[in-house]
Structure 1
């Protein structure tokens, strides 16, 4: 599966990816979102175990395919598994904020699913740490950011030159 995404991706799409903070843009960057979303589940510890293992295998497949964007998107899904399960552990029903006031609701440790959701969160957390500390991920991240910076500079110059030419053309009239 990682191979198909790698082959269907063009350079401009790859360079448009932004790592962002935490889970930012995890549900908006295609084609990765559609590939990874079906693997992401955290309802019970058993389901979280299967899900996090499947996502970890995908992370490693992206590593083997030399696809940093795929690795980072997978890391984000794993992180989102950890944070969403934790939200359900802390708040019955997963609602963190009061609809009417927008204030954060009090945390609960006595609701029915608290222990299961906390365990699910910890399962994802272990994989999230593995992702963040993966030496190949760290090397590829550094290389990607360097390449992206050069790409952005090169393509921003091209846009600036086009804008300047267009501006001169308009001003000649």
Structure 2
């Protein structure tokens, strides 16, 4: 019995779906409605936390792409609109997450330009965690297919990233956020310390009883 191939039965090869068009007016601003959510966010360094902080990660990730220059232009323009939307709404968390995705487009595309296949180190973080030891950066590629395209994509994101970090309203929101977070963290530490002290007192009362 001869099995029919996928071509014979009309099955098309899988292709990566295009992200849906983004209407920035549809983007929610949950951090404005929840101080707990807002204060749990950390600006951190570079793009740290960009792939873990929800719900903003899931809102923005579908629009982050850097395969070639035209795709990078579309992606960076979409993320820039998201950045502006969040800045205008006064949502520092959303604006900074958009900034992080834009920055990651710049750094990730540059990594693929420097290293064929995008592999920068000889071992993955998971391998280091499992086996111990360190890892070594692989030599940069002198030339490989797609290098110039990825360099161009990185530059596209870099230009938009510069606009983000130079935006005066964003910088103002950032200062306000850090000031609020400093007070929040201080109060949180006091609360935790008081709870710990009360626990010790209760434990001592139990022992005395």
- Among 65, 75, 81, the residue aligned to 1:41: 65
Deviation at 1:130, TM superposition (A): 0.6
Match of 1:111 in 2: 144
Of structures 1 and 2, the larger Rg is shown by 2
Higher deviation after alignment, 4-13 or 113-122:
4-13
The count of residues paired between Structure 1 and Structure 2 equals 173
Q: Measure, in 1, the Cα distance between the counterparts of 2:150 and 2:119.
A: 14
**3-state secondary structure, aligned to 2:66:** coil
Q: Measure, in 2, the Cα distance between the counterparts of 1:108 and 1:138.
A: 37
Q: Measure, in 2, the Cα distance between the counterparts of 1:106 and 1:31.
A: 37
**3-state secondary structure, aligned to 2:29:** helix
Match of 1:147 in 2: 180
Deviation at 1:85, TM superposition (A): 0.2
Higher deviation after alignment, 76-85 or 162-171:
162-171
The Cα offsets for residues 63-120 of structure 1, whole Å up to 9 and x where unpaired, read as 1111001111111100100000000111111111224983222112310101000000
Match of 1:32 in 2: 56
Q: Indicate the RMSD between aligned Cα atoms, in angstroms.
A: 1.8
- Tell me: CA distance 1:37–1:113, structure 2 relative to 1, closer, same or farther (3 Å): same
1:92 and 2:92 correspond: no
Question: Larger helix proportion, structure 1 or 2?
Answer: 1
**3-state secondary structure, aligned to 1:75:** helix
**3-state secondary structure, aligned to 1:18:** coil
**3-state secondary structure, aligned to 1:4:** coil
Match of 1:20 in 2: 44
Unaligned segments of structure 1, at least 5 residues: none
The one of the two structures with greater contact order (alpha-carbon pairs below 8 A, sep at least 6) is: 1
Match of 1:133 in 2: 166
The Cα offsets for residues 19-43 of structure 1, whole Å up to 9 and x where unpaired, read as 1111111101000100010010000
Contact 1:79-1:124 at 8 Å conserved across structures? yes
Contact 1:3-1:65 at 8 Å conserved across structures? no
- What's the TM-score once normalised by structure 2's chain length? 0.78
